[in-house]
Amino acid sequence: MILKILALGDVVGPAAVEKIKNSLWGIRREYKLDFAVINGENAADGGGMDIKSTQILINSGADVVTAGNHTFKRREIREYLDDTREVVRPCNFPDEVSGNGYTVVNANGYDFLVMNVMGTVFMEPLACPFRSVEKILARAGKYDVSILDIHAESTSEKIAMSHYFDGKIDIMFGTHTHVQTSDARVMPSGSGYITDLGMCGPENSVLGIKKEKIIEKFLMHTPVKFDVADGEIKLHGAIFEYDTDKKRTVSARLFEY
């Protein structure tokens, strides 16, 4: 049995949420997808995660929504994270922080372990991402397919994690930098991997933000409001094919819609 898994990059703003709402179920049918995971840490208007946009992503066809460094920008999300199995935040936050760093979700008769971890290079000094993921693998129990969202700034950190967990985690992908990389591949021990999925957001922008605002920031070095850009929304990510008999990923390719 070949399972087809879609991973979509960071959702930026309400217009991107609306595009997913209007298209994801159709994409799932067109590509005969068995599972979909989306990084939703910037889906809310003004950044961060809110309950409304997160629930729209789930109702629109996302089996799991992952997060990142902007997870807790809005206080409303904290209690919600404790009450849902469909949303995970980085597992290397302190244990006292709301939410969970992994979940196991059943889809089409298969159990999918989905984990989320945050890098520490150029980011928050959280617990070691390598050791934090190892702890999940040791206690997660029974599952059929394992998936890891590495939300990190440094490409070297993401690539190092992919080699460390090659053959131990079935599908790994990077998020956070909002630019799709061209290295979707199956690694030597059978893990599917891409350094960054890219983003779901406005094409004519700087990482989803109005380009004029970002240029002003670079030129003037003074505070600016990061407004989400207008214009055409593109969805970027990757599609992985997992062979349940061989117990390995057999295909990894870029996705754009």
Where does the chain have alpha helices with state H? 14-30, 51-59, 77-83, 129-139, 155-164, 211-220
Question: Could you tell me the sign of the dihedral formed by the alpha carbons of 224, 227, 231, 236, in that order?
Answer: positive
Catalytically active residues are 70
State residue 241 phi and psi, 5-degree precision. -115, 125
- Residues shown for the chain: 257
State residue 159 phi and psi, 5-degree precision. -65, -40
The number of CA neighbours under 13 Å toward the Cβ of 128 is: 6
Q: Distances from the Cα of 151 to the Cαs of 13, 92, 143, 162, 182, in angstroms?
A: 18, 11, 22, 13, 17
Kindly report the number of other CB atoms within 10 A of residue 43's CB atom. 29
